[in-house]
Amino acid sequence: MARIHDLLDKGHTFSFEFFPPKTEEAQATLVATLRELESLNPSFVSVTYGAGGSTRERTHDLVVGLLRTTHMTPMAHLTCAGHSRLDLAEILVRYARAGIDNVLSLGGDPPQGLELGPSELNHASDLVELARAIGPFSLGVAAHPEGHPSSRSLVADRAHLATKLALADFAVTQFFFSADHYQSLVNDMADLGVTKPVIPGIMPITNVASVARMAHMSGASIPAELLARLEAADESGGAAEVRKVGVEAATELSQQLLDAGAPGLHFYTMNRSGATLDIYANLGLAQR
């Protein structure tokens, strides 16, 4: 199985993120999405993990299923929140035995109103160190271009990111909508002596209300110019026109990032294929 840091050493990576489905209908949608996006030959795909292990088995089954039934390289998300060290070690050993070599190590942010059990490891860097002791994983961590919403300051967030990225092999960012935010993060890491690859995360806006809500939760901001374009599209053509503008904006951002030297692109698909397929076509990546 390919290790993501090796893929990054060879050139650009283009990857997709999925989440475990909760219903039979959602499962059918994901299966169709996987079939369509596999044809794009992604470098790797990632699968999210619920806070406190709420999707523990579904995440495991989807990751292992991708390895065994597709040609795609999967990466499992894993969070510290609500787990003991032994819990996490057992999950990592299980992945290693199944042949899963790639893990995204996360601290984990519990949703509002959800009470989790005690966490024996408090930071993603602790999980990276545990994973290093268990097997030769390729290990990623998360990055927030505009800072984690719970961080006391951007300076503190950058210092924390530098610590965990120095231990890991690469980072994948939360979604954002301005290339300047990404470039600022990369420059700040370089100033702190960390030059590991940071893969930018791309979220095409197909619904203004839902993305605005997600952006607020993740600490991302929607530029006023982009918001104006989306609102004008909504007034003139409704949902279809919003989707068109959202895909255009994501294409523009993706090209800016690649031109600026980003090591690849990571698409937040929301288990749907349409927007990602369109962006790939716009960028001329469909035949790569």
The span from the CA of 168 to the CA of 244, in Å, is: 37
Residue 115 tokens read as 């009470």
CB-based contact 49:19 (threshold 8 Å)? no
Instruction: Locate all alpha helices (DSSP H) within the chain, ordered by sequence.
Output: 4-10, 24-38, 56-69, 85-98, 124-134, 154-167, 179-191, 208-218, 224-259, 274-283
228-to-205, 222, 246, 261 alpha-carbon distances in Å: 13, 10, 12, 28
Residue 193 tokens read as 């002596």
Active site residue 25: no
102-to-70, 138, 261 alpha-carbon distances in Å: 16, 5, 24
- C-alpha angle with apex 164: 158 to 167, nearest 5 degrees? 140
Length in residues, the chain: 288
Q: How many CB atoms lie within 10 A of CB 215?
A: 19
The span from the CA of 257 to the CA of 261, in Å, is: 6
Residue 31 tokens read as 């299966």
Mapping DSSP to helix (H, G, I), strand (E, B) and coil, where does residue 178 land? coil
The dihedral built from the CA positions of residue 142, 135, 93 and 117, taken in this order, carries a sign that is negative
Residue 276 tokens read as 């990602």
Enumerate the active-site residues: 17
